[in-house]
A and B are shown apart, each in its own frame.
Chain A
Amino acid sequence: MKCDEAAEFVSALCDGELIPRAEAEHIGTCPACQLLMREYIEMGAELRRVASLEGAESTTPRVWSGPESLFANWWKRGWRTMRIPRLAFVTLIAAIAVLGSSLALVKVRAHSEGTVLVLKVARPDAEPVACPLSTRDRNYATCGFFGTTNGKNIGYKIDLLGHDGSRVQLGVRTKNLGARTGPEDLADIQGEPQQEVDFEPGETLKIDMPGTGMLTVTGEWFDHMPAFIGTGSNREIDPQANELRMVMPLLLRDGTLVGDLEGASATAPDLAAVIVYIRGEGLFILSPTPVKGAVKAHVNLSRITFNEDAHAYTFLTGVPVTRSNHLWVLHNAGFKPSSQMDSKFWITTFDVNKLPSEWTSSAR
């Protein structure tokens, strides 16, 4: 079978329609048809995104706040009609939701190959963390990480310095932060000495972090910025037990878009909390367990809703948030970050039993 003959059914498959076996078998093994399907899905997601944001920014907040919002309606239709296996539908919706909530990332999609190097950086005792570096977009030429490894708080920052064909030159900085915890800033690491290393996908790079072990780096080229750059369990559709995931969240207040984390994500394991700061909106502590002063929020797959001070808030995320149907949200509208931390937004995870007092003290 030729791709041209199957193309119409690629479109139908995007819509969850049943298609003939021969076409299905071809599409299932044809990279070109799968790419076409991905493009169709992406176009649809962007249409929904535009439609949704226009609705959110207009004076018709019911588009978002009502029970028949576009996304909710779409979900319900999918579940109800069930033309494709439920898991497949969930997978499709999750993919679309991710794409739909990551317009900024999708915009850097390139039409030639090899413009985005996605590194996988593994600490000695942890799953690899994805680090996407674009050769074309300076906004995505740096990545970093803060966390604990071998009982020590560490951070690293990787810059894409240049590339020659598929070979790249990376600038790597690492820092042992000692007992410091909490959200950090890549500027903290900027003063550390930079190691310049050459790397090519296919190789395995070892980077020494003095006193904490080795970082193991692998990578591969993508022809676009992946819509979803999570790692480990982030890639799964179903959240893991006791996991709380905020993937590329949008925040709506009374149906109006007030926050877009532009692709930033965080996954909190083991009943930890996710902390979201949005300039102008304050700090949101989302916890799977009760927190003093927090309001109970309802979770419906990729949507978190809660009410506070006569306002209706909704977080929309790229994938289902948690296995639970509720969580607790502590909103500190008066939170003032330090000047160093006063970026447009940030997101991190934190032990809910060790929340800094400045995060919770002036919360309503």
Chain B
Amino acid sequence: MVADAFNQLTNEQRTLLWLREVEGQSYTELAAILEVPVGTVRSRLFVARQALRSVWHGERITKGGSHEVR
């Protein structure tokens, strides 16, 4: 589950991804919320996505290809 991978991220990464992906906050809004420049929002989001991708891929490979889908 992506939620499991998500929970392995740092608090800051989880918050940033949640605000962006779920709540749809713009970079400008995130910059205001976090009190950082827009460029920092961009780079932190990238790092957070990479972290989530890395954890998630690891989980999926471990579970193999015979997922229960129904």
Binding site for B on A (CB under 8 A): 7-8, 11-12, 14-15, 17, 39-40, 43-44, 46-48, 50-51, 70, 73-74, 77-78, 81, 104-105, 107-111, 115, 136-137, 139-140, 262
Contact = CB atoms under 8 A, between A and B. Distances in A.
Contacts of B43: 8
Contact of B66 (A12, A81, A109, A137): A137
Interface in B37-70: 42-43, 45-46, 49-50, 52-53, 56-57, 60-61, 65-67, 69-70
A279 to B, nearest CB: 13
Given A12-B42, A77-B24, A43 B49 contact: yes
B38 to A, nearest CB: 9
A81 B26 contact: yes
B60 A73 contact: no
A101 to B, nearest CB: 14
A115 B69 CA distance: 15
A53 to B, nearest CB: 10
Given A46-B2, A262-B70, A70 B22 contact: yes
Given A11-B42, A40-B49, A137 B22 contact: no
B2 A43 contact: yes
The interface size bin for chain B is: 20 to 34
Given A115-B65, A139-B70, A8 B52 contact: no
Contacts of A12: 27, 42, 45-46
Q: Which among A11, A50, A51 has the highest number of chain B CB atoms within 10 Å?
A: A11
Given A70-B22, A77-B26, A8 B46 contact: yes
Contact of B27 (A17, A43, A105, A139): A17
Interface of B: 1-3, 6, 17-18, 20-24, 26-27, 42-43, 45-46, 49-50, 52-53, 56-57, 60-61, 65-67, 69-70
B67 A107 contact: yes
A50 B20 CA distance: 15
Given A43-B56, A46-B2, A11 B49 contact: yes
A50 B2 CA distance: 8
Interface majority SS (helix, strand, loop, mixed), chain B: helix
Given A51-B22, A109-B60, A8 B42 contact: yes
A50 B3 contact: yes
B53 A105 contact: no
13 contacts: A7-B50, A8-B46, A12-B46, A15-B20, A15-B27, A17-B42, A40-B53, A43-B56, A47-B17, A70-B22, A104-B70, A108-B65, A137-B65
Contacts of B21: 43-44, 47-48
A77 B23 CA distance: 10
Contact of B24 (A14, A43, A73, A137): A73
Contacts of A108: 65, 67, 69
A2 to B, nearest CB: 15
Contact of A107 (B23, B27, B69): B69
Contact of B53 (A39, A78, A115): A39
B23 A73 contact: yes
A279 B4 CA distance: 30
Contacts of A137: 65-67, 69
Given A104-B70, A110-B65, A11 B22 contact: no
A47 B2 contact: yes
Which 3 pairs across A and B sit closest by C-beta, in order of nearness?
A11-B46, A46-B2, A74-B24
Q: Which among B18, B24, B26, B45 has the highest number of chain A CB atoms within 10 Å?
A: B24
Given A12-B46, A48-B21, A136 B52 contact: no
A11 B69 CA distance: 29
A308 to B, nearest CB: 29
Nearest to B38: A17
Nearest to A74: B24
Contacts of B57: 111
